[in-house]
Structure 1
Amino acid sequence: MVHTTMEGSLFEPTLYLVKGMCILDNDGNRILAKYYDKDVLPTAKEQKAFEKNLFNKTHRANAEIIMLEGLTCVYKSNVDLFFYVMGSSHENELILQSVLNALYESVSILLRRNVERRVLLDNLDAVMLAFDEICDGGVILDSDPTSIVGRAALRTEDVPLGEQTVAQVLQSAKEQLKWSLLK
């Protein structure tokens, strides 16, 4: 199926819904960020400039959505952290909002409801895994915080095989098989 825009040019259908996700501190500095579209903000310098601009436009606002530099950005703040999910200008805001909620709730569960910069930095590995469990290459994989945290926790716990229960071994094998089939 081929879609056309109002101008008549063609574009391919895509599953790439998310252009990027990031977490900034209360000074607008990057704590964690992933960008999935190489045509949008391809260099680290452009990404940091965009993040600074995004933070400056949103850190005092009460809204939850902003259009910036051709991207739809949804965001949420808590204590000293700002969570952002970016999509294209024609992306469905509700889908982006569900990704943002999955990100925030997953981080909240991982950090035991203590969502602040210091605790996040102490658990950055688990939060990075949660990013990967939510979105892969811009494609949304999951938006259920409980299952995201469950898979992220499985990957961070690296318990020796001899110390795992049969259920843990089977669950780990099931997850590995699922991911090998998805690649």
Structure 2
Amino acid sequence: MFRNLNCKSYSPHAGSQSAQDPILSVQANSMETIPLVKNVILLDSEGKRVAVKYFSEDWPTNQAKLAFEKSVFTKTKKTNARTEVEVTMFDNYIVVYKFAQDLHFFVTGGDDENELILAIVLQGFLDAVALLLRNNVDKTTALENLDLILLCLDELADGGNVLEVDPNVIAGKIASNGSDASAFNEQSIAQALATAREHLTRSLLK
């Protein structure tokens, strides 16, 4: 069964849109309802992995993870999840997903999680990626900026606990390398992103 969820969406023409009203409402008033995310998956239009992050031992091996990604992609690839977030049940998991250009975004939660909030998590991730990629949300640009997408995943959730869903805050933290997110602006983004990349490279080399 597939259903769509009315969540503000990234638009390739109008720029990144954040679902700020429901996001901030959820954060301020319903923290107890914030779900545990089991994984966040970004695939290309052929089902190949671009970036993923797993927070659950439900998939203990890389082979199990790849099999899950393939199955989810196969089940959803023919749906039209481009204007709104779609939701489906798969192997006793709630999977919310949305497509942008040739990228497929997924967030998975347990079958008892709030699907609307999972959708907000997904939309926050997609919109943060759109901000960091200057609205060029496609596979080529994503691979060229994979480090930024991985940092997005780190800012989104830790250990399955959702940390942040406001795309402006996520992108701002990455662009300003942990300084005040208010410093995030179009004029400084190129330099800030270069700094973020440099710090990520240093951490990987340690």
Whether 1:32 and 2:51 are equivalent positions in the alignment is yes
Q: How much does 1:156 deviate?
A: 8.9
The corresponding residue for 2:129 is 107
- Identity in percent: 42
Q: C-alpha distance in 2, partners of 1:156/1:15?
A: 24
Q: Which has the higher contact order (CA 8 A, sep 6+)?
A: 2
| Higher CA-based Rg | 1
Q: C-alpha distance in 2, partners of 1:16/1:138?
A: 8
Whether 1:154 and 2:200 are equivalent positions in the alignment is no
Q: How much does 1:115 deviate?
A: 0.2
Q: 1:15 to 1:103 in 2, by over 3 A?
A: closer
Q: C-alpha distance in 1, partners of 2:125/2:35?
A: 17
Q: C-alpha distance in 1, partners of 2:176/2:146?
A: 15
Q: How much does 1:155 deviate?
A: 2.8
How do residues 26-65 of structure 1 correspond to structure 2 at under 5 angstroms? 26-38=45-57, 40-62=58-80, 64-65=86-87
Structure 1 segments unaligned to the other structure (5+ residues): 1-12, 158-183
Whether 1:71 and 2:79 are equivalent positions in the alignment is no
Q: 1:90 to 1:117 in 2, by over 3 A?
A: same
Map Cα deviations across residues 64-114 of structure 1 (whole Å, 9 max, x no partner): 011111110000001110000000011100110010000000000000011
Give the letter aligned to residue 110 of structure 2.
S
TM-score after normalising by structure 1: 0.75
Structure 2 segments unaligned to the other structure (5+ residues): 1-31, 180-206
3-state SS of the aligned residue for 1:126?
Answer: helix
> Is residue 126–residue 156 contact of structure 1 (8 Å, CA) maintained in 2?
no
Q: C-alpha distance in 1, partners of 2:165/2:59?
A: 25
> Is residue 26–residue 81 contact of structure 1 (8 Å, CA) maintained in 2?
yes
3-state SS of the aligned residue for 2:37?
Answer: coil
Give the letter aligned to residue 149 of structure 2.
V
The corresponding residue for 1:92 is 114
Q: How much does 1:62 deviate?
A: 3.0
3-state SS of the aligned residue for 2:112?
Answer: coil
Q: C-alpha distance in 2, partners of 1:93/1:74?
A: 7
Give the letter aligned to residue 162 of structure 2.
I
